[in-house]
Amino acid sequence: MPALSSEFKIIAIDGGAAVGKSSTSKGLAERLDLMHVDTGAHYRTITFALLATGASPEDDLQDTLAALDLKTHLDRRTARLCIDGRVPTEVEIRSPEVNASVSKFAAIPAVRQSLFEYQRNQANVGREEGFRGLIMEGRDIGSIIFPDAQHRFFLEADEATRAARRAKEGQTDSIADRDKMDKARKTAPLVCPEGAIRVDTGPRSLEEVIEHIINLIGTGNTSD
Q: Is 55 annotated as a binding residue?
A: no
Residue 213 is which amino acid?
I
Q: Is 18 annotated as a binding residue?
A: yes
Q: What is the pLDDT of residue 164?
A: 87
User: Please, where are the H alpha helices in the chain?
Assistant: 21-32, 39-52, 62-66, 90-93, 96-106, 109-120, 122-128, 159-169, 175-184, 206-219
Quick one: pLDDT band at residue 1, thresholds 50, 70, 90?
A: very low
Please state the pTM of the whole predicted model: 0.90
Name 171's Cβ contacts closer than 8 Å, sequence gap at least 6.
18, 94, 99
Q: What is the pLDDT of residue 3?
A: 45
Q: Is 133 annotated as a binding residue?
A: no
Q: Is 15 annotated as a binding residue?
A: yes
The answer to whether residues 26 and 80 touch, using CB atoms and an 8 Å cutoff, is no
Q: Is 180 annotated as a binding residue?
A: no
* 74 vs 65: CA distance, rounded Å: 22
The answer to whether residues 39 and 136 touch, using CB atoms and an 8 Å cutoff, is yes
Quick one: pLDDT band at residue 110, thresholds 50, 70, 90?
A: very high
Question: For residue 8, which phi and psi values (nearest 5 degrees)?
Answer: -65, 120
Express each pLDDT in 6-18 by its tens digit: 689 999 999 998 9
Q: What is the pLDDT of residue 46?
A: 98
Is the confidence at residue 170, as pLDDT, over 50?
A: yes
Q: What is the pLDDT of residue 179?
A: 77
Structural domains of the chain in order of their starting residue, each with its CATH number: 9-219 (3.40.50.300)
Q: What is the pLDDT of residue 2?
A: 44
Express each pLDDT in 46-98 by its tens digit: 999 999 999 999 999 999 999 999 999 999 999 999 999 999 999 999 999 99
Express each pLDDT in 132-162 by its tens digit: 999 999 999 999 999 999 999 999 999 889 8
